[in-house]
Chains A and B, each alone.
Chain A
Amino acid sequence: MKKLLIIDDEPGIVEEIKSFFEEEGYEVHTADTAKMGIELIEKLKPALVLLDMKLPDMSGLAVLKMCKASYPWIKVIVNTGYVDQHLIDEAERLGRDAFLTKPFDLTRLKDEIDQLLAPPPPDAA
Chain B
Amino acid sequence: MTFYIVVTFLTTISYFCLGFFVFSHNRSQFLHQIFMLFCSAVALWAFGYFLTLLPIVNYQIAIIASRCSHAVGAYIPVIFLHMTLAFTHRHDRRRRKLLIFSYIISTLMFLAALTPLVVSDLLPKMDMRFYPEKGVLYPFYVALYFVFAISFANFYLFKAFASAKENYRKRILFFMFSSFLGFVGGISLFLLIFNIPFPPYASTLIVLYPFVMSYTIVRYREFDIEFIIKKTLVFAGILAFVFGVFSAATFLVREVLNVYFGASNVWTYAISLFLIVLGYDPIRNLLVNLTDRFLFQKKYNYQQLLKDATRGMSKIESLRHLLGLVVHFITMKMRVRNAAVMIKVKEAGEYELGYQRGYTKNFLEYRLDDANPLIMYLIREKEAIDLERAKEYMEAGNKKKVRGQEPRHYDFQAILLTMQELESACCVPSFLGPELRNILILGEKKSGDYYTTDDLNILFTLAQESAIAIENAKLFDEAVNKSKQLEKINEQLEYSKNLLMNALHETEIANKQLQDTQVQLIHEQKMATLGRLAASVGHEVNNPLTILSMNVSRAILKYRKNPDLKVAEVLELFQKMEQNIGRIKAVVNTLTGLLKRSEKGKFEPLSLKLILEETLPLVQFQTYLDNLSGTEVEFDVPGGIPLVRGDLERLQEVFLNLFINAYHAMTGRRNRRIRVTAEPDPQNSTRVAVHFSDNGCGMPEEIMKKIFNYGFTTKPPGRGSGMGLYMCKYIIELHGGDVTVKSKVGEGTTFTVTLPAYEDTAGEGTSAYPPISVSS
**At the interface, yes or no: A117 with Cβ under 8 Å from chain B?**
no
- B554 / chain A contacts, CB cutoff of 8 Å: 16, 20, 106
List which A77-125 residues lie within 8 A (CB) of chain B.
81-84, 101-107
**Is there a chain B Cβ closer than 8 Å to A54's Cβ?**
yes
A87 to chain B, nearest CB (A): 10
For chain B residues 291-312, which have a beta carbon within 8 Å of chain A? none
- Cα–Cα, bound, A82→B531 (Å): 10
Give the complex CA separation of A10 and B534 in angstroms: 18
Report chain B residues within 8 Å CB of A20: 550, 554
B550 cross-chain contacts in A, Cβ below 8 A: 13, 16-17, 20, 105-106
Q: Report yes or no: A104 in contact with B625, Cβ–Cβ below 8 A.
A: no
- Interface membership of B283, Cβ < 8 A: no
Bound: A13/B550 CA distance, A: 8
Q: How far, in whole Å, are A41 and B553 apart by their CA atoms in the complex?
A: 28
Does any Cβ of B come within 8 Å of A12's Cβ? yes
CB-defined contacts of B557 to chain A, threshold 8 Å = 106-107
Closest chain B residue to A10 by CB distance?
Answer: B543
Q: Which of B535, B552, B580, B627 contacts A12 (CB 8 A)?
A: B580
Smallest CB separation, A9 vs chain B (Å): 8
- The listed residue with most A CB atoms (<10 A of its CB), out of B543, B545, B546, B550, is B546
Q: How far, in whole Å, are A17 and B553 apart by their CA atoms in the complex?
A: 11
Q: By the criterion CB–CB under 8 Å, are B546 and A102 in contact?
A: yes
Residues B538 and A12 in contact, CB atoms below 8 Å apart: no
User: Does B271 have its Cβ within 8 Å of any Cβ on chain A?
Assistant: no
**Contact residues of A: prevailing secondary structure:** loop
Beta-carbon contact of A104 and B546 below 8 Å: yes
Q: Determine how close the nearest CB of chain B comes to the CB of A56; give it in whole angstroms.
A: 4
A54: B residues at CB distance < 8 A: 539, 625
Q: A81-B542, A82-B539 are in contact. Are A13 and B547 (CB under 8 A)?
A: yes
User: Per a CB cutoff under 8 Å, which of A17, A56, A82, A107 touches B542?
Assistant: A82
CB contacts (< 8 Å) of A56 on chain B: these are 627
* Residue from B535, B548, B553 in contact with A82 in the complex, judged by beta carbons closer than 8 Å: B535
Indicate if B680 sits at the interface (CB-CB under 8 A): no
* Majority secondary structure of chain B interface residues (helix, strand, loop or mixed): helix
Do the beta carbons of A105 and B547 come within 8 Å of each other?
no
Contacts of B677 in A (CB 8 A): none
Q: How many whole Å from A78's CB to the nearest CB in chain B?
A: 14
Q: Any chain A CB within 8 A of the CB of B544? A: yes
- CA A106 to CA B557, docked complex, whole Å: 10
Find out whether the CB atom of A81 lies under 8 angstroms from the CB atom of B543. Answer: yes
Known A12-B547, A54-B625; judge A102-B553 contact (CB<8 A).
no
A82 touches B627 (CB 8 A): no
> Within the complex, what minimum Cβ distance (angstroms) separates A5 from chain B?
18
In the bound complex, what is the Cα–Cα distance between A103 and B539 (angstroms)? 10
The smallest C-beta distance from B518 to any residue of chain A, in angstroms, reads 27
Is B115's CB within 8 Å of the partner chain A?
no
Closest chain-A Cβ to B400's Cβ sits at a distance in Å of: 107
A103–B545 Cα distance when bound, in Å, is: 6
Q: CA separation between A57 and B627, bound complex, in Å?
A: 8
Number of A residues with CB within 8 Å of any CB on chain B:
20
Q: Answer yes or no: B549 CB below 8 A from chain A CBs.
A: yes
A81 and B539 in contact, given A12-B576, A16-B547, A103-B546 (Cβ under 8 angstroms):
yes
List the A side residues contacting B552 at CB < 8 Å.
105
Contacts of B535 in A (CB 8 A): 82, 84
Q: Which residues of A contact B538 (CB under 8 A)?
A: 81-83, 102
Residue from A20, A56, A81, A84 with most neighbouring chain B CB atoms (10 Å): A81
- Known contacts being A12-B576, A16-B554, A84-B535, is A105 close to B542, with CB within 8 Å? no
Most buried by A among B548, B550, B554: B550
Q: Which of A12, A13, A54, A57 gathers the greatest number of chain B CB atoms within 10 Å? A: A12
B713 at interface (Cβ–Cβ under 8 A)? no
The residue in A13, A56, A82, A83 that gathers the most chain B C-beta atoms within 10 A of its C-beta is A82
Chain A, residue nearest B537 (CB): A82
* B551 within 8 Å of A (CB atoms): yes
A20: shortest Cβ distance to chain B, in Å? Answer: 6
- In angstroms, how far is the closest chain A Cβ from the Cβ of B551? 7
B534 and A103 within 8 A (CB): no
A68–B604 alpha-carbon span in the complex (Å): 56
A51 to chain B, nearest CB (A): 14
Is the Cβ of B534 less than 8 Å from the Cβ of A82? Answer: yes
* Chain B residue contacts of A12, Cβ below 8 A: 543-544, 547, 576, 580
Minimal Cβ-Cβ distance residue in B for A100: B546
In Å, the complex CA distance between A53 and B767 comes to 45
Contact A102 B551 (CB under 8 A): no
Q: Give the residues in chain B near A103, CB-CB below 8 Å.
A: 542, 545-546, 548-549
A54 to B576, CA, bound (A): 23
- A21 shortest CB reach to chain B, Å: 11
With contact pairs A56-B627, A82-B535 given, residues A106 and B542 touching in the complex (Cβ less than 8 Å): no
Q: How far is the CB of B255 from chain A (nearest CB, A)?
A: 159
CB-CB nearest in chain A for B626: A56
- Bound complex: CA of A57 vs CA of B668, how far in Å? 10
Residue in chain A with minimal CB distance to B545: A103
Asked if residues B543 and A13 are in contact (CB atoms below 8 Å), the reply is yes
| Contacts of A12-64 to chain B: CB distance below 8 A | 12-13, 16-17, 20, 54, 56-57
With A82-B539, A84-B535 in contact, is A107–B545 under 8 Å at CB?
no
- Chain B residue at minimal CB-CB distance from A55: B627
A105's partner among B549, B580, B625 (CB-CB below 8 A) is B549
User: Using a CB-CB cutoff of 8 Å, which residues 573-614 of chain B contact chain A?
Assistant: 576, 580
Quote the shortest CB–CB distance from A82 to chain B (angstroms): 3
Nearest CB of chain B from residue A59's CB, rounded to whole Å: 10
Contact A105 B553 (CB under 8 A): yes
Whole-angstrom distance between the Cβ of B541 and the nearest chain A Cβ: 8
The residues of B that contact A81 with a CB separation of less than 8 Å are 538-539, 541-543, 546
Contacts of A16 in B (CB 8 A): 547, 550-551, 554
Which residue numbers of A lie inside 8 Å of B, CB to CB?
A: 10, 12-13, 16-17, 20, 54, 56-57, 81-84, 101-107
Q: Which are the 6 A-B pairs with shortest beta-carbon distances? A: A82-B538, A81-B542, A102-B542, A103-B545, A56-B627, A103-B546
Q: List, sorted by A's number, 14 A–B pairs whose CB atoms are closer than 8 Å.
A: A12-B547, A13-B546, A16-B550, A17-B550, A56-B627, A81-B542, A81-B543, A82-B534, A102-B538, A102-B545, A103-B546, A106-B550, A106-B553, A106-B557
5 additional A-B residue pairs with CB within 8 Å, beyond A57-B627, A103-B545: A13-B550, A16-B547, A82-B534, A101-B542, A103-B549
